[in-house]
Amino acid sequence: MKIGITYDLQDDYLAAGFSEEDAAEFDRPDTIAGIKDALQGLGYTTDPIGNVLRLTERLARGERWDMVFNIAEGVHGFGREAQVPALLDAYNIPYTFSDPMVLSLTLHKGMTKHVLRDLGIPTPEFALVKDMKSLNRVDLAFPVFAKPVAEGTGKGIDRASKIEKRENMADVCRKLLEIHRQPVLLETFLPGREFTVGITGTGERSEAVGVMEILLVKEAEPDIYSFLNKKKFEDRVKYILVDDDEAQKAALAALNAWQCLGCRDGGRVDLRSDEKGVPHFLEVNPLAGLNPEISDLPILCRLAGMDFRELIARIMESALERVSPARQPSFRHFPE
């Protein structure tokens, strides 16, 4: 079986003038190599494709794959993670991970929280700041936490993100609006433990691989899993696998959110507990980082006794369940 691999290579964007933080979500060469090696070790033939533009060129030349292992993040707009899946859907080529609807929804953390709140899944109270005029309508208990509404890898999160007083809110929001050119998500800051839950599978077949608690050491920026804390995690963060009552509640909440949103194959859900020890949904990562050594999901799996090849095998097994032996023909088979 021939597996194409779609991705955005970090080096390409750095060479194009992107800042280190702007390119933080894109993948390093060793991530692509790790995925390629794991797939080949499982008996698949691999074909690195690259980003959505390179995929478009190769599709236009008539190239096809039995499956595409998609980790492309995209660049522009709230639908950027959905671009590769939407293109593959148009050509009736199956792919790993979630579909365009899920990826567009979950990239926008505010819209995701609206959906999950309506479904009864606990999430911190929140407000969306689209411009400076919106600040007048914010009615949240302080402290609050501020971050760009559609970024990952801790982008836009630093010491200033935890806002203790209303008079400090305007400066933080103005900076985020100017730099990231997207709305700011404000959430009531929760004082409890922070977890990330690794999940594999789809729908009723999905399961929590484990629950990892994120502990910040004294060298870290306090209270926040920030861009710098993530970047320097070896010195600033301690990851431990946990299975106490609170962690089990986090796993159940994460799995509920994963299934309700329709996420597929594998990823992570991030949660933080309130003062009563109730885990609240923060965000879902349906295209979680897959660097074998430094990404949260592979770290969590490793702590749970699952090596990287097994993680990739589980993702592929889940994706292959959606492939019918007799798929509907794509338009390339239609007469002109």
Report the top-level CATH class of 194-320.
Answer: alpha beta
Q: What pTM was estimated for this model as a whole?
A: 0.92
Cα-Cα-Cα-Cα dihedral sign, residues 326, 93, 48, 304? negative
Which pLDDT score, from 0 to 100, does residue 25 have? 86
d(CA 290, CA 301): 11
Q: Regarding beta strands 207-216 and 237-242, do their DSSP bridges make them parallel or antiparallel, or are they unpaired?
A: antiparallel
What pLDDT sits at residue 325?
62
Q: Which fold has domain 125-188?
A: Dna Ligase; domain 1 (3.30.1490)
Domain with CATH 3.40.50.20 in the chain: 2-97
Domain with CATH 3.30.1490.20 in the chain: 125-188
CATH fold for the domain made of 2-97? Rossmann fold (3.40.50)
pLDDT of residue 326: 54
Burial of 15 per CB tally in 10 Å (0-12, 13-18, 19+): exposed
Per-residue pLDDT of the chain (336 residues; tens, 9 = 90+): 999 999 999 998 899 898 888 888 899 999 999 999 999 999 999 999 999 999 999 999 999 999 999 999 999 899 999 999 999 999 999 999 999 999 999 999 999 999 999 999 999 999 999 999 999 899 999 999 999 999 987 888 989 999 999 999 999 999 999 999 999 999 999 999 999 999 999 999 999 999 999 999 988 888 888 888 888 888 899 999 999 999 999 999 999 999 999 999 999 999 999 999 999 999 999 999 999 999 999 999 999 999 999 999 999 999 999 986 655 445 444 444
Residue 124's pLDDT is 97
Residue 319: which residues within 8 A CB-CB, separation 6 or more? 67, 94, 95, 96, 97, 264, 265
Please state whether the peptide bond connecting residue 335 to the residue before it is cis, i.e. omega within 30 degrees of 0.
no
From residue 327, how far is each of 68, 93, 100, 185, 309 by CA, in Å? 15, 9, 19, 41, 28
Please tell me the predicted confidence (pLDDT) of residue 335: 41
> Range(s) for CATH 3.30.470.20 in the chain?
194-320
